[in-house]
């Protein structure tokens, strides 16, 4: 004889299947727990590379590509997505990232090279992981704002420059770009700034499939419970405007250093937050890499993952070789095939994961 528990489980599965049958594409991936996002890099303004990078990851099968809120960057990303759509029928969401306050993801370093003493041993050049610092100063198209160079100058002439969009420019920018989704980087204690940012977004009058909220604990002497409280505040703001949330847990922001440790940080934050977080899909970010999946239990997990530094560095050698050949990656078949293969190796374990 069937038990109540058995019947309830069956009913729950029927209702879940019915719900899933009504969804498609990115929303289905969020519901099934195999959503993958590419973080193209908020400061990445190497335009030709953005088109190739987005085309590669769209072809590999990501559900969303997250870029900085910059018209030229969005145009380049769209070109890559359209290219993959025409040839392969792959059409991920385009998301733009903004911030409701000062944020390391939205800054660049700057200094006046005229002020450098002739005999300076140039420690700034050595510490920069992306060779953005040259005799002429900092190349803004390379600098991604990691901040390593800021404290190292012996005469203290390197400063950070805020690259965020002003609040008044948000609505015109979103009306012009018309993204599928927007992600707001926020942090503890900034609920009022978050509200103002949401209000500015609504003035654009653009339908958004999701509004992402990116927040983490890095650098804060607070508990996951405090973070959850803040997420609940953001949840009520989103509800007021009728936006569907997508929570991004930033395990370790700006984790250009790729290692097993960073993957653990992202997973550990998710484990602490999941039971106390507001409703809506949660995606891991900040320090995610190919090891991340190995730290999760097989029957349980977040709804998705966002890959940034690792996804970009895997494709970087192909982009550089294409540049050396004076072509783009899309027009170099061997390089293209090899790059897509690398991208698939990183994301396929997530695309094929079914556990919720
Ligand atoms: S060290 Fe970091 S912040 Fe400084 S120039 Fe290089 S990328 Fe930019
Ligand atoms: S460390 Fe400071 S002074 Fe020396 S080259 Fe770099 S910016 Fe100039």
DSSP strand E in 151-220: where? 159-162, 181-185, 210-215
Residue 354 to residue 356: CA distance in whole angstroms: 6
What pLDDT does residue 351 have?
93
Top-confidence residue, 8 or 56: 56
Q: Is 153 in the pocket of ligand 2 (CB under 6 A)?
A: yes
Question: Does ligand 2 lie within 6 Å of residue 122's CB atom?
Answer: yes
* Pocket residue to mutate for ligand 1, from 103, 105, 132, 254, most atoms within 8 A of Cβ: 132
Tokens read off for 156 = 């203290």
**Residue 88: exposure state from Cβ atoms within 10 A (0-12, 13-18, ≥19):** middle
For ligand 1, atom 2, the nearest C-alpha belongs to 146
Instruction: Give the closest residue (by CA) to ligand 2 atom 8.
Output: 116
Pocket test for ligand 2, best of 117, 118, 124, 152 (most atoms within 8 A of CB): 124
Query: From the CB of 254, is ligand 1 less than 6 Å away?
Result: no
The CA 325 to ligand 1 mean position distance, Å, reads: 27
The answer to whether the beta carbons of residues 100 and 184 sit under 8 Å apart is yes
Residue 78 · residue 70 · CB < 8 Å: no
Assigned token pair, 55? 């085309």
Name the pairing type of β-strands 35-41 and 107-110: unpaired
Burial zone of 48 (CB within 10 Å; 0-12 exposed, 13-18 middle, 19+ buried):
middle
Residue 256's pLDDT band, with cuts at 50, 70 and 90, is very low
Residues in the chain: 356
125 alpha carbon, closest ligand:
2
CATH T-level fold of 30-103+164-351: TIM Barrel (3.20.20)
Paired residues of 109 in beta bridges: 160
Residue 249 confidence (pLDDT): 86
Mean of pLDDT over the chain: 87
Atom of ligand 1 nearest to the CA of 131: 6
Handedness of CA 290, 141, 162, 213 (dihedral sign): negative
Q: How confident is the model at residue 171 (pLDDT cuts 50, 70, 90)?
A: very high
Q: Give the C-alpha separation, 36 to 21, whole Å.
A: 20
Nearest Cα to 254, choosing from 199, 294, 282, 214?
214
Measure the CA–CA gap between 205 and 235, rounded to whole angstroms.
20
CB distance 133 to ligand 1 below 6 Å: yes
Residue 208 Cβ inside 6 Å of ligand 1? The answer reads no
The answer, yes or no, to whether residue 148 has pLDDT greater than 70, is: yes
Instruction: Classify strands 133-134 and 137-138 as parallel, antiparallel or unpaired.
Output: antiparallel
162 forms bridges with which residues in the sheet?
107
In the chain, domain spans = 30-103+164-351, 106-162
Ligand 1 contacts CB of residue 144 (under 6 A): yes
**Residue 39: its H or E element:** strand 35-41
Decide if pLDDT at 10 tops 60: no
For 269, which DSSP code? H
Place of tokens 């790729």: 258
What whole-number distance in Å separates Cα of residue 167 and Cα of residue 184?
Answer: 12
The CA-based diameter of the chain, rounded to the nearest angstrom, is 88
Q: Is the CB of 110 under 6 A from ligand 2?
A: no
Distance 141 CA to ligand 2 centre (A): 19
Question: 106-162, what's its fold?
Answer: Alpha-Beta Plaits (3.30.70)
Owner of token pair 């977080």: 277
**Model pLDDT for residues 279-325, shown as the tens digit of each residue:** 999 998 887 888 888 887 766 678 999 998 889 889 999 999 999 99
Q: What is the pLDDT of residues 106-117, one digit of tens each?
A: 888 999 999 999
- The sign of the torsion formed by the CA atoms of 135, 132, 335, 322 equals negative
Kindly report, residue by residue over 126-138, the tens digit of the pLDDT: 999 878 999 999 9
Is the C-beta atom of 111 inside 6 A of ligand 2? yes
Mutate to test the pocket of ligand 2, among 115, 116, 127, 131 (most ligand atoms within 8 A of CB): 116
Q: Long-range CB contacts (< 8 A, 24+ apart) of 296-300?
A: 296/267, 298/355, 299/355, 300/355
Instruction: Give per-residue pLDDT as tens, 217-240.
Output: 666 667 889 889 999 999 999 999
Tell me, using a 6 A CB cutoff, whether residue 104 lines ligand 1.
Answer: no
Q: Give, rounded to a whole angstrom, the gap between the first and last alpha carbons of the chain.
A: 27
- What pLDDT does residue 18 have? 58
Indicate whether residue 264 lines ligand 2 (CB < 6 A).
Answer: no
């Amino acid at each position: 004889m069937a038990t109540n528990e058995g019947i309830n489980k069956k009913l729950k599965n029927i209702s879940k299947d019915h719900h899933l049958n009504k969804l498609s594409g990115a929303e289905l991936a969020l519901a099934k727990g195999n959503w993958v996002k590419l973080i193209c890099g908020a400061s990445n303004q190497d335009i030709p590379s953005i088109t190739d990078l987005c085309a590669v990851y769209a072809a590999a099968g990501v559900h969303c590509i997250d870029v900085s809120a910059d018209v030229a960057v969005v145009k380049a990303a769209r070109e890559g997505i359209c290219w993959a759509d025409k040839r392969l029928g792959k059409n991920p969401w385009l998301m733009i990232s903004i911030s409701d306050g000062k944020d390391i993801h939205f800054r660049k370093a700057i200094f006046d090279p005229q002020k450098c003493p002739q005999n300076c041993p140039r420690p700034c050049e050595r510490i920069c992981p992306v060779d953005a610092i040259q005799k002429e100063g900092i190349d803004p198209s390379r600098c991604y704002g990691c901040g390593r160079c800021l404290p190292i100058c012996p005469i203290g002439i390197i400063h950070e420059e805020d690259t965020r969009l002003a609040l008044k420019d948000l609505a015109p920018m979103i009306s012009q770009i018309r993204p599928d989704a927007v992600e707001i980087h926020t942090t503890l204690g900034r609920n009022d700034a978050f509200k103002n940012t949401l209000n500015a977004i609504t003035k654009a009058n653009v339908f958004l499939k999701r509004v992402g909220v990116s927040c983490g604990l890095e650098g804060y002497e607070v508990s996951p419970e405090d973070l959850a409280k803040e997420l609940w505040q953001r949840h009520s703001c989103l509800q007021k405007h009728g936006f569907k949330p997508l929570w991004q847990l930033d395990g370790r922001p700006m984790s250009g250093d790729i290692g097993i440790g960073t993957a653990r940080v992202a997973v550990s934050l998710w484990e602490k937050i999941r039971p106390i977080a507001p409703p809506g899909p949660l995606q891991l970010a900040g320090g995610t890499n190919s090891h991340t999946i190995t730290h999760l239990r097989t029957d349980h997990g977040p709804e998705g993952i966002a890959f940034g530094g690792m996804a970009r560095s895997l494709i970087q050698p192909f982009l550089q070789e294409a540049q050396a050949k004076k072509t783009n990656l899309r027009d170099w078949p061997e390089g293209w095939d090899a790059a897509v293969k690398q991208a698939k190796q990183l994301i396929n374990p997530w695309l094929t994961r079914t556990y919720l």
